[in-house]
Amino acid sequence: MDRRIDPPFWSQPPTRRTPVKHLVSFLLVFLLAAPSALACTTTITGKDASADGSVLVSHSDDGLSDARMVYVPPMDHKPGSKRAVFYSHDALGFKPEWGGTETQRLVTDTRGPGYTNPKLAQSVPLGYIPQVAHTYGYFDANYGLVNEHGLAIGECTDKAKVHPQPDPDKRIFYSAELSRVALERCTTAREAVELMGQLIEQYGYYGTGETLLVADKDEGWVFEMCGYDMEGAGGVWVAQRVPDDGFFVAANEFRIRKIRKDAPDMLYSKNVFDIARKKGWWKPADGALDWAKTYSGGEFHHPYYSLRRVWRAQSLVAPSLKLPAWVDGPFTTAYPFAITPDQKLDVEDIAAIHRDNYEGTEFDLTKGLAAGPFGNPNRFEGHGEAVSDGSLSSVKGAFERPLNIYRCVYSYVTQCRGTMPAGIGTVIWFAPDRPATAVLMPFYAGALNLPESVQTADALVYNEKSMWTAFNYVANYAMLKYSYMIKDIHALRDTFEAAALGGQKELEAKAAALWNDGKEHEAQALLTEYSDKNAAKVLAAWWELSHDLYIKYNDGYVNTKGDLGEPVFYPAWWLKKVDYPDGPLHYEKSAN
C-alpha cells in the first residue's frame, strides 16, 4: 500500500493574508467562539477486556457544532494528484476565511456527495499533500470515525501549553484531518499512528492539544499531540499501546505520562526531548520525561473538569479499585493509564459510561436544588466551556462536569472484531445528540452508504428528516419534567437497542455467508439496507415520542386516557428550599 509523503506541495490560498472584508468577522469569532468539541470523553477497551474479544473504541463529541455522520466513499486518484488539507472548526473555533459554516464543517466536491453543497462556498484548503492511488471508504464526522478495513478512531481535546494558529506555510494539520488521512490510507492502528506522526513532523501542527484513540481488531493505541511554539513549524507527539486486558479513558487532559525510550509499547516524535529541553520545560536530570506534565496546560476551565470523568469511568468498570474522587492536583498519578475491568465489558457497558450523570455518588447531578424539582442533570455552563474561559456571570464557581452533557452532538461505540471480514466484524453504534437520551444504532464498516437522516443535521435549522434534530428536540423538551419523561425515553430507547443487539448475530451470519460465497457486494447491500430500515424506524418513533410527551405532560399534568389532568406537585424538600412555606398564607406581611 502506498502511504508515501513527498516533500510539501503548498497551496496558494486566494490571498496570503486574511481579506479585509473578513477582518471584523474573524476578530469577532476569535473572541467569542469556542472550539466546538472542547469537552469530549473517549475510551478504548482491549480485546481481552471485552466480552466478545473485540477492541472497543468510544467517543462523545461534546460541542454544539456539526452533528452529521457522513459517508466518504472509496476513491481512485490519478497519478500526481494532490489531497487538500482543510481547516478544522474544532481546533480553534470557526474561522470564516477558511470556508464552511458554523454548522457545516466542510464544503467540498472532493470527499463524495456528503460534503457537496452547491449553495455554499467551497472550503479553502490550508495546503496540500500528495494523494495516493486509492483511498478507502470511511464514516466521517467532526473527526474520522471508522473505515472499511475496521480501523476505528476516538478523540478528545486537551489543553496544551501552546495552541498555535493555522498557517499555510508552517502548520496545516489538526487532529481532525490527520484522522481522515489515516482512515483513507491505513488498515492497522500502528500504521495509522506512524503515518499521523510523520504528517505532523513534515507539515506542522496547529490548534489545541489532542488525544486520538486508534484501534483495529487486534490492538488499541493512544496518540497524543500538540504544538510547542506559536510561530513554530512543527509539533510533538507520543503514542502508547493499551494493554489487551486494559481499559483506557481520556477526558480533555493528556493521559500519557513517562516516556520510556525504546519501549515496544511506545512511539514518539524524534523532537519530543529536544523541544522540551530547549523550552526549559524539562531537563534530563529530572529523570524520564513526563509527557503530560511537560506539554500540558492541565485541566480546562476548573479542577476536576477532566479528572472527575476519568475517576468516574474507571470506577464504573473497576469499583474494586476504590479510586479516590479527590486528588492533589491536575497531574495526579492516582488514576492509572489503563486498568483491568472487574468484569469484561460490552457495548452497553461502554454506552452506560457516556450516559452517566454521577448517579448514586456524592456528585449526583440529578439531586439538589440545581436539578430542580424533577431531577434534571443538565447544568448550563454560561460560556465556561470557551477557550477564553469567559463567563456570563459575576459569580465565580463551577458545576461538576458530567460524562453525559447537554451540548453533546453525538456519541458512539465502535466494535472491532477479527472473527469476520472487517466490513461485517466492525460496527459503529452511533447515537446522535446527548448519550443519555439517544438510541445506539448499528452501522457496519462495509456499508455502501449511510441513511440520509444521519447525514443531515444543522443546529440552526429545524428539520424533521434529521435524526439529530429529532433526538435533540426530545432531549430539550424532557428538561421540563426530566424524572418523569426520562422513563418514557429510556423505555423506547431500550426497546430499539435490545432488538438491534439481539438480532446482531443472525444478521451478521447471513452477511458472512454471502461474503464467504464471494458475494461481497450483496453482503454489503444487506447490511446497508438493515441499517437504513432501522434508522427509519427510530426516526419515525422518536418524532412520535415527541408528540406523546407533549400530550402526556401538557401543562404540568400527567395526562392519560381516563385520567386527564392528573396533578403532579413539587417534592417537599424543593418547596422548602424555594420558600414555598413563606408564601401568601395570611393577609399580613410575613416577618421574614
Cβ atoms 178, 200 nearer than 8 A: yes
Closest CA to 434 of 400, 407, 470, 402: 407
Q: Give the angle subtended at the CA of 241 by the CAs of 237 and 243, to the nearest 5°.
A: 155
Strands 410-416 and 426-432: antiparallel
Write the DSSP string, 281-326. Answer: S--GGG-S-BHHHHHB--SSSSTTTTHHHHHHHHHHH-GGG---S-
546 part of a folded domain? no
545 part of a folded domain? no
pLDDT at 28 over 60: no
pLDDT at 456 over 50: yes
When pLDDT is averaged across residues 121-125 and rounded to a whole number, the result is: 94
pLDDT at 294 over 90: yes
pLDDT at 35 over 50: no
193 part of a folded domain? yes
pLDDT at 25: 39
pLDDT at 186: 98
When pLDDT is averaged across residues 116-135 and rounded to a whole number, the result is: 96
Cross-strand bridge partners of residue 158: 209
pLDDT at 38: 60
**Residue with grid cell 490510507, as numbered in its chain:** 185
b/e map of 160-196 (b: 16 or more CB within 10 Å)? bbbbbebbbebbbbbbbbbbbbbbbbbbbbbbbbbbb
Average pLDDT taken over every residue of the chain: 92
- Backbone CA torsion sign across 120, 126, 127, 133: negative
Q: Give the residue, 523 or 233, on which the prediction is more confident.
A: 523
491 part of a folded domain? no
To the nearest 10°, report the CA torsion of 402, 405, 406, 412. -160
Give every CB contact of residue 332 below 8 A, 6+ residues apart in sequence. 307
- Backbone CA torsion sign across 347, 349, 353, 357: positive
Strands 558-560 and 563-566: antiparallel
For residue 134, the SS3 value is strand
pLDDT band at 344 (very low <50, low <70, confident <90, very high): very high
pLDDT at 21: 38
Domain encompassing residue 87: 20-465
pLDDT at 385: 58
pLDDT at 383: 63
567 part of a folded domain? no
**Residue with grid cell 481579506, as numbered in its chain:** 19
445 part of a folded domain? yes
Phi-psi region of 480 (alpha: psi -120 to 50; beta: other; left: phi over 0): alpha
- Backbone CA torsion sign across 27, 33, 37, 41: positive
- The pLDDT tens digits for 472-502 are 999 999 999 999 999 999 999 999 999 999 9
Compute the half-sphere exposure of residue 558: CA atoms within 13 Å on the CB side of its CA.
10
Helices 467-478 and 482-502 sit at what angle, rounded to 10 degrees? 140
Give every CB contact of residue 95 below 8 A, 6+ residues apart in sequence. 26, 29, 30, 87, 89, 166
Cross-strand bridge partners of residue 167: 171
Cβ atoms 153, 196 nearer than 8 A: no
Q: How far is CA 315 from the centre of its chain?
A: 21
Cβ atoms 297, 160 nearer than 8 A: yes
When pLDDT is averaged across residues 356-368 and rounded to a whole number, the result is: 98
Beta strands in 433-586 (DSSP E): 441-444, 558-560, 563-566
* DSSP collapsed to 3 states, 243-259: CCCCEEEECCCCCCCEC
Whole-angstrom CA distances from 288 to 139, 154, 241, 276, 577 are 39, 28, 18, 12, 53
Q: Give the residue, 10 or 162, on which the prediction is more confident.
A: 162
**Residue with grid cell 456571570, as numbered in its chain:** 393
- The pLDDT tens digits for 87-112 are 999 999 999 999 989 999 999 999 99
pLDDT band at 63 (very low <50, low <70, confident <90, very high): confident
pLDDT at 15 over 70: no
pLDDT at 169 over 90: no
pLDDT at 387: 46
Q: How many domains does the chain have?
A: 1
pLDDT band at 394 (very low <50, low <70, confident <90, very high): confident
Radius of gyration of the chain (CA): 24
pLDDT at 6 over 90: no
pLDDT at 39: 77
Cβ atoms 481, 374 nearer than 8 A: yes
pLDDT at 492: 98
577 part of a folded domain? no
pTM over 0.85: yes
Helices 347-354 and 482-502 sit at what angle, rounded to 10 degrees? 160
536 part of a folded domain? no
